[in-house]
Chains A and B, each alone.
Chain A
């Protein structure tokens, strides 16, 4: 069965700091990978996704993620966070014909 782990439960940063949120998954086959964001009081939205090709994918709002197959990782990065990035971030994996599995989430608090 697939599983997803996220390295940090809660991350606190000051504005303009760089962000990296870790995500690892366990599944031996080909997977699709996603990062979703849930802003306070809003529904989950897709930040970015990886299906195939260039392992460095760019998403909305300046976020990017790198798929490292050998490490089963899909870490999310942003060079300079803003207060408006305060949210909960979920990594998710989906294999062909399988349901989506989400990580436990990382709460990001950005201090102005």
Chain B
């Protein structure tokens, strides 16, 4: 069974550009979470989608947005990139919003120059 897959794995952007990151959850999982892991800052919660709806968002500016598609895959969009957006962006999925554990992808490493 395939795990959580994310794309791209690495990307380099410049300040002011926009980026879209993609995530495919484990088959059958309906809940998708996005986290930012910046150096030394642990996992900062970004967004949570379940059954196509945004359930919660973390303390990030509105230029961080996303959506979940009918097949439960998800994308994270970041507009007007800033240097401090450089981080590993992690996607995780769970079977439903109320069950069990998160399964993480390998992440998308974003570097903003």
Contact = CB atoms under 8 A, between A and B. Distances in A.
Contacts of B55: 99
Contact of A90 (B43, B56, B100): B43
A44 B90 contact: yes
Contacts of B85: none
Given A43-B105, A43-B107, A102-B35, A96 B98 contact: yes
Nearest to B55: A99
A46 interface: yes
Interface string B26-56: 0000000101000001110100100000011
Contacts, number: 46
Contact of A99 (B56, B104, B105): B56
Interface residues of A, number: 20
Interface in A77-108: 90, 92, 96-105
Nearest to B103: A46
Contacts of A101: 45
B102 interface: yes
Contact of A105 (B42, B45, B107): B42
A98 B57 CA distance: 11
A100 B105 CA distance: 16
Interface string B95-109: 001101111111100
29 contacts: A32-B100, A34-B101, A36-B102, A36-B104, A43-B90, A43-B106, A43-B107, A44-B90, A44-B92, A44-B102, A44-B104, A46-B101, A46-B102, A46-B103, A49-B100, A90-B42, A90-B43, A92-B102, A96-B98, A99-B45, A99-B55, A100-B102, A101-B45, A102-B35, A102-B45, A103-B42, A104-B42, A105-B42, A105-B43
